[in-house]
Structure 1
Amino acid sequence: MLFASLAAQAQSANLCHDASVFEDRNGNGLRERGERGIPGVTVSDGVRIATTDRVGRYSLPPVSGRTLFVVKPAGYRPHRREDGLPDTWINWQDTPGPALRYGGVPAAPMQCKSFALQREPRRAKPLDVLVFGDPQPKSLTDVGYYQRDIVQPLVAQGGGRAQADLGISLGDIVNDDLSLFTAIKKVDAALGVSWLHAPGNHDIDFDAPRDEESLASFRHAFGAETYAWEEPEANFIVFDDVIYMPGKKPSYVGGLRESQFAFLEAYLPTVPKGRLLVLSAHIHFYDAEPGIETFRRADRERLFRMLSAFPNVLLLTAHSHAQRHAYYGKADGWLGEGLLHEFNMGAACGGYWSGIADASGIPSATMSDGTPNGYSRLSVDRGGKYSLRWFPARESPNRQIGLHAPKVLRQGSWPGYAVYANVYMGDERSVVEYRIGDGEWKPMRRVEQADPAVLVQNLADDAAMRLRGYDRAPEASPSPHLWRGALPTDLPLGTHRIEVRTQIEGYGLATAATEYRLDPAP
C-alpha cells in the first residue's frame, strides 16, 4: 500500500512537470516554436501557489476537487474560451463527486494546463472596470431582461463591444436554477471583455451534502470560486464568501474557509503595496440586522488583519439588492491607515426583475431603497487612487438623484411637507442642498427612512385588484442615502421650482429638479 501511494504521488507530480505559462504571440492559444515561457507568474489551486521558473514552467501536483488557475499577470491578457470566459483555469476531479441535480464537475483524468497569455500595450487611461451585482435571473425571460436592460445598451454604446478593460459579477449569477449558467455566459460573452465571476448564495448546489461541494456546478461553469487577477493599476481577489450549512436555518452565512485563508496567506505577500487591492465577493461584511451575523465576525476580523498592511484596499460586495457605503475602523478589526471602504452595490436585476413593465416590456426593477437597477464602473489610476460611479439601466447617466415631492400644497398651511432626495451614491459624508426658485441654497437633512417614491408603488400594488406585473415591487426599506428638505408654503400662489445639488465622487456636480404648486384654500 505504501509503494502504491508513493507511486500515485509521483505520477500526480509528473502531471505538472512540463506545464507552463507562455507568451502566445499569434493569439491562437497554442504554444508553438518561438513562443517563450514567462517567468515569475503565479499559478495556484486555490490553496497552494507556485511560481513559474525562468522558462515559464511550474510544478503543482494535482489535488482532486480543486481548480487550477493562473493569476493573470499585469501587462498581459489571456486567451478566451469558446464561451467567452478567459482561459485561465482547469478543474481537477478524477473521481465522481456527489450526485447533484445540476451535474457538478464531471470526473475525468486530471491534467495540468499550459496557459497562453498575450502582451498588452501600456494603458494611457485609468483602468476601467464594469461591475455588476446580482444579475439573478430566475428564468430565460429574466435572462432576456438582463440582456436588453444591461448588456445590449453597453454593447451598442461601445460600437459592438463594451468599452471597458475588465468586468466583474458579484455573485447570484442566477437565482437557484443553475441550468441558466449557460444562457447567462452567452449573454455576457457579447460584452467582449474578460469577465470574472464571484459565486453567490443563489449559485450553490443546494443538494450538496457539504459546503466544500456546494459550488461544484459553479466551478464547472466558471472555474475557481477563489482566485486572483492582476492589472498594472490593481490586484483583484475574487472569492466565495458563502458558507453553506445544509439542514440548518438559515442555510448559509457569510464567511471564509480555512483553505481560502491559506490561499490569502500565500498570495498576499506577492501583491505590490503601490497598487489598489480589490476584494470582490457576494455577501457584504456588515451585519444587515444588529446582533445577527451576516458575515462571521471572527472571519471578518481575521481577514481585515491580513489586509491592514496594504495602504489601498477596496471591498466590492452585493447581495442586499440595495446600495450603501460602509467604512471600517479599529473597532471592526481594521488596523490599517484611515478607514477601510466597502461599496455594497445595487443589483443588475434591481428588485429581482419586479415592478411595472415599461413600453419595452422590461420591469422597472427599482430596489427597496429607491435605487434604480443598473451597474457600476470602477476607475483606477496607478498609485491606488480610485473612483466609483453608478449607471442606472437604460437611463441617462446623469440620473444620480431621485426626487419625490407633493404636487400641490395649500398656501399658508403648516410647512411640514418636504421634498426627498435619494442620492444613489450618497453616504453620511455627502452634503446635499436645495433651493426653491432663485432662492438661497439650504442644506437638506439626512434621514434613514423609506423612500416615499417606493412607498407609492407599494400602496398602488396593495390597492390593485389584479397583478400590475409578474412580481410586485419590493417592500420599501430604510434608505441610507435619503435627504429631506421642508417646502415653504408662504410663497406666492402658483408653481415653484425645486432644485437639488450635491457633489458625487467620480461624477462631479449632480443636480435634479422638480416642482410643486401652492393653491388657495377652496
Structure 2
Amino acid sequence: MKKNLFGLLATGLVFAALTGIAQELAKGKVYEDLNKNGKWDKGEQGVAQVAVSNGVQVVLTDAKGQYELPVGEDNIVFVIKPSGYTVPLNEYYLHKSYYIHKPKGSPKELTYAGVDPTGPLPKSIDFALQKNTEKEEFRMLLFGDPQAYTAQEMTFFNRAIVDEVVGIQNVAFGLSLGDLVGDDLSLHPSYRASMARIGLPWYNLKGNHDMNYDVTADSLSDETFERNFGPANYSFNYGHVHFIVLDNVRYPNPRTGKGYLGGFRKDQLDFVENDLKHVDHSKLIVLAFHIPLEHRNGDTFRAEDRQRLFDLLKDYPHTLSLSAHMHTQTQHFYGKADGWKQEKPHHEYNAGTTSGDWYSGELDERGVPAATMRDGTPNGYAFIDFNKHDYRISYKPSGKDSTYQINLYHPKVVGQGKRTRAAIFANFFMGHHGNKVEFAIDGGKWEKMIPARTIDPAYSAILYPWDNLETLLPGRRPTDGMTSTHLWRVGLPIDLAVGEHKIKVRATDDYGRVHEATSTYRIEPTKDYPDLK
C-alpha cells in the first residue's frame, strides 16, 4: 500500500512540475459508521481494501482504512462503494460519498452557479460506510432523459413518470441517464425534489442539456452539475456488479470549437483503466453514459475514444452499456468489426426516454402529452434485473400495463379478396431484428413476420391531426417519424370468410420471454366501383 501511495505522490509531483498547478496530498479514512451519525467516532474501525479516487487515480485503503491521493485545485475525492456496504444519503436520496476540492470555487461568470469556494484542503477527508445486505439478485430502475425545459414540463414528468413509481418496492436503487433538465439548470433542484419522492437511493449522470455552455474547456462544463449532484465520473459496486458512470459529452467540440461531440477525455479513460485494476474479471461491468457509443463514422462519437474503452474491457467477459439521448429505443451489438475484442458482442441498451418525444402530442386522461417517440416507442422507463453477471431488461410504458410490449397497426376493415397492400405492423418496443416475431390469424398456424426498416405507420397516424385539422391543438406537434429498429410487417390476410378475425402476434425477447398482442379486423363483401356513364 505504501509503495502504491508513494508512486502516486511522485506522479502527482511530476504532473505539478510540468503544468504549474499546485498539488496537495489528500488523506483520510474509510470507516464503518456503527452509529450512523456520518462522522468517525472512537471505536469505529477502518475498512481495508476499499477503492478511493480523485477522478483519475484509484487507490485501496490500507489495513486501517487509510488512503492518500494527490489533488489539484479542481478535484473531487470519492469513495467507490464496495458491495455489502452503503453510504449515507442526503435529503434527496443522493449519496454523500464525495468531497469537492475547489479552493477558489467555480468560475464566477457562469450563468448558472457552480461550486462555492471550498477553502483549504481538510486535514482528513473521511468516508462513512454502513454494512448492508446486498443480494447478487437485485433490481434497478432506469430513467432516460427527463429533460424538462420548463416548470410545466417538470409537472408532466411528475405526473407521467414519478407518480407511477413513488414508494416502489423491491428495487435497490435508480439511475438517470442524463439530460436531467433541458438547458435551464435552475430546474436541477426541482428535478432533485421530484426524484426524492420516489424514495430510492438515486444516481445521476450528466447529459448535453445539463452543461454549462458558457465555458471554454470541457472540464468546466460540469460545474453546476457538480454543485447539485457531485462528481460527473464515478463508480460503485452492488452485488456482483461494478457500475462505471461517465460524462461522455465533450464541449466545446474538440474538432470545431462549437457544439458538442460524444467522447471521453484522456483523464476519464485513465480513471476507467485505474478503476478496473481493482475489479475482479468475473464481475459484470455496467457502463452508463448519455450519448450512445454508435459513432456513425465518427461524426457523433469519437471512434478513438470508443476503441480505447473497448480495449480496457477486453478481459471482462460480462459487460453492458447503458445510454439514452436519442429519444428512441435501440439495442446495439458491437462485434469485432466495431473494434470489440471478444467473441461475444458487447450489448448497449440505448434506452427509451421518460420525456418521450420531448413532451409532445395530444394530452391524455392524466393531462400530460402522449409523447410517443419517433420510432413508435411510448415514453416510459426500464427495470434491469441482475443475477450475478446475468441481466434482464424490461421496459414499462408510461400509463400502460407492463404487459404492453407490442403495438399493432393495421386496417380495421378490408374487402374480401380485394387486391390490397394493406399490412399488419408490429412494433416490439424492446426488440431488434434478431428477435423472432410471429403472427397467427384466428388461432391458426404461427408464421414469421418480416423485419421492416421504415417509419412506423402508427406513429405517422399520430401526426395526421396536427397536419390536417383546421383547428389548433393544445400542446406541441410531435417530431417527424424516423426508421424504427424494432418493427415487423406482414401482408394482411384477405382471403378469409366475411366477418371479424382475430390477429395474435408473439415476440420472443433476448431473455427467452414471450410477449403477445392481439387485435381484430373485419372482412366485408367487396364493393365494386360504380359503372361509369
Normalising to structure 2: TM-score of the pair?
0.91
Counterpart of 2:91 in structure 1 is 82
Cα distance in 1 between the residues matched to 2:78 and 2:377: 36
Please state if 1:427 is matched with 2:437.
no
Cα distance in 2 between the residues matched to 1:11 and 1:213: 19
Counterpart of 1:217 in structure 2 is 224
Shift of 1:10: 10
Cα distance in 2 between the residues matched to 1:307 and 1:145: 39
* Equivalent pair of 1:369/1:454 in contact (CA under 8 Å): yes
Please state if 1:347 is matched with 2:353.
yes
Please state if 1:190 is matched with 2:190.
no
Counterpart of 1:464 in structure 2 is 469
Counterpart of 1:235 in structure 2 is 242
Cα distance in 2 between the residues matched to 1:469 and 1:442: 42
Cα distance in 2 between the residues matched to 1:148 and 1:27: 34
Cα distance in 2 between the residues matched to 1:11 and 1:257: 21
Cα distance in 2 between the residues matched to 1:363 and 1:11: 51
Equivalent of residue 440 in structure 1, options 428, 437, 445: 445
* Equivalent pair of 1:129/1:167 in contact (CA under 8 Å): yes
Structure 1 spans left out of the alignment, 5+ residues: none
Cα distance in 2 between the residues matched to 1:212 and 1:40: 30
- Following superposition of structure 1 onto structure 2, how do residues 30-179 of structure 1 map, counting pairs within 5 Å? 30-98=39-107, 99-109=109-119, 110-111=121-122, 113-123=125-135, 126-156=137-167, 158=168, 162-179=169-186
* Equivalent pair of 1:389/1:506 in contact (CA under 8 Å): no
Cα distance in 1 between the residues matched to 2:313 and 2:68: 28
* Equivalent pair of 1:355/1:468 in contact (CA under 8 Å): no
Cα distance in 2 between the residues matched to 1:78 and 1:263: 21
1:269 alignment partner AA:
K
> Which string of whole-angstrom CA distances, capped at 9 and with x for unpartnered residues, describes residues 405-446 of structure 1?
111111111142111000001112110001111221111000
Residues 514 and 203 (structure 1), Cα distance of their counterparts in 2 relative to 1, 3 Å cut: same
Greater shift in the superposed pair: 69-78 or 503-512 = 503-512
Residues 467 and 77 (structure 1), Cα distance of their counterparts in 2 relative to 1, 3 Å cut: farther
* Equivalent pair of 2:21/2:73 in contact (CA under 8 Å): no
* Equivalent pair of 1:322/1:367 in contact (CA under 8 Å): yes
Counterpart of 1:364 in structure 2 is 370
Cα distance in 1 between the residues matched to 2:36 and 2:422: 63
Equivalent of residue 316 in structure 1, options 307, 313, 322: 322
- Misfit runs of 4+, over 3 Å: 8-12, 246-250
> Which string of whole-angstrom CA distances, capped at 9 and with x for unpartnered residues, describes residues 10-49 of structure 1?
9932xx33x2111112222122232211111111111112
Greater shift in the superposed pair: 25-34 or 435-444 = 25-34
* Equivalent pair of 1:389/1:507 in contact (CA under 8 Å): no
Shift of 1:272: 1.0
* Equivalent pair of 2:134/2:238 in contact (CA under 8 Å): no
* Equivalent pair of 1:356/1:363 in contact (CA under 8 Å): yes
Cα distance in 2 between the residues matched to 1:393 and 1:433: 26
Greater shift in the superposed pair: 29-38 or 133-142 = 29-38
Shift of 1:292: 5.2
> Which string of whole-angstrom CA distances, capped at 9 and with x for unpartnered residues, describes residues 425-479 of structure 1?
1112110001111221111000111111110111221113344232112211100
Cα distance in 1 between the residues matched to 2:160 and 2:190: 16
Greater shift in the superposed pair: 390-399 or 463-472 = 463-472
Shift of 1:403: 0.7
Equivalent of residue 284 in structure 1, options 281, 286, 292: 292
Structure 2 spans left out of the alignment, 5+ residues: 1-12, 528-533
* Equivalent pair of 2:290/2:325 in contact (CA under 8 Å): yes
Equivalent of residue 514 in structure 1, options 519, 525, 531: 519
2:116 alignment partner AA:
P
Shift of 1:194: 1.8
- What is the total number of aligned residue pairs between the two structures? 507
